[in-house]
């Protein structure tokens, strides 16, 4: 169950990574289209007011684009690091079990000799 959920999350993440650049391009093109239409149809005074709003929108779009790029990348990196960590923990646990088994076998062998 856990492995299936992890595989499902990986597929969703890879889909998001593949689609996020396209969404970013569409948002930039749409913003440029809106800017062009406002420049074409509005008066100079309205255009000046719209330009102030557009500058704020451009900053918002830039932030969203950076988030769309770094969110999937950081999520993939976090999943890879977590997977490596779980592998390390399993190996450490296996080493501890083997060491305890060796100590147990040695302890039983010594008691057998003393008796």
pLDDT number for residue 88: 95
Please report which confidence band the pLDDT of residue 63 belongs to, taking 50, 70 and 90 as the band edges: confident
Rounded CA-CA distance 7/13 in Å is 10
Position with higher pLDDT, 52 vs 59: 59
pTM across the whole model: 0.43
| Mean pLDDT (whole number) for 8-32 | 79
Q: Give per-residue pLDDT as tens, 67-110.
A: 777 887 788 788 888 889 999 999 999 999 999 988 888 766 55
Among candidates 39, 30, 31, 27, which has minimal Cα distance to 68?
A: 27
Residue found by looking up tokens 């299936």 in the block: 4
Report which DSSP code applies to 17: H
| Mean pLDDT (whole number) for 47-74 | 70
């Amino acid at each position: 169950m856990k492995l299936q959920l992890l595989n499902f999350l990986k597929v969703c993440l890879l889909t998001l990574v593949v689609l996020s650049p396209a969404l970013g391009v569409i948002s930039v093109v749409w913003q440029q289209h809106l800017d062009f239409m406002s420049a074409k149809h509005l008066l100079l005074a309205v255009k000046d007011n719209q330009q102030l709003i557009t500058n704020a929108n451009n900053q918002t779009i830039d932030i969203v684009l950076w988030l769309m790029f770094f969110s999937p990348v950081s999520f993939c990196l976090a999943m890879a690091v977590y997977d490596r960590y779980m592998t390390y923990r399993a190996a450490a646990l296996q080493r501890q079990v083997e060491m305890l088994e060796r100590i147990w076998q040695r302890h039983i062998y010594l008691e057998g000799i003393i008796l």
